[in-house]
Amino acid sequence: MRLKIVSVGEAVLRTKARSLSIEEIRSTYIRDLIEHMRETLHDAPGVGLAAPQIGIPLQLAVIEDKAEYHAALSDTELVERERRPVPFHVLVNPHLQLLSQPEVLFFEGCLSLPGFTAVVPRASKVVVGAFDHIGKPVHIEATGWYARILQHEIDHLQGTLYVDRMLTRSFSSLENYNRCWKAKSRNDLERELGVPEAKLLT
């Protein structure tokens, strides 16, 4: 069942989500919710979906970066972004630790802010501790684009959106992004938007 994705302006997107108990994680309700979130993520399509994005303030997110999503990127772009396929998995009650400064610049979008994108500085390396879909503890060490996805989704669970972290001068409609920015490299972004501005956000 495809769930409705709420858009920016909804209070649930600005509220810190509630943690789940192990009993809740193993409940039929959460199992069914995870499956519905997976279907919604695939249908969107997207690489991550947090429970607040479907109007439910729980510390729960699903992530999957399919290889087919990479087809529009060149080999150079994939290497520059350090983007590799990530299999479907669930994060419950995640805790994020940044292992590098949030100064890697790339455009991000969000299913709750359709039609727009902006450059967001993110850490290139992170560690995440969480529970999986059956309440088993998991430890994730991630780099590159996977680290970016984790930061974006865990932000959602804290009531934070990418617009809170973006370089405001880069905020763009998707139409103008495709026309003016899509072909630019990371070095181009750093030169045109200014790395010093990004470092002020660390």
d(CA 32, CA 89): 14
| Residues involved in catalysis | 153
CB 127 within 8 A of CB 100: no
Q: Give me the amino acid identity at 80.
A: E
CB 128 within 8 A of CB 150: yes
Sign of the alpha-carbon dihedral angle for 41, 44, 49, 54: negative
Of 148, 13, 17, which is closest to residue 82 (Cα–Cα)?
148
Per-residue b or e along 22-42, where b marks 16 or more CB atoms closer than 10 Å to that residue's CB: eeebeeeebeebbeebeebbe
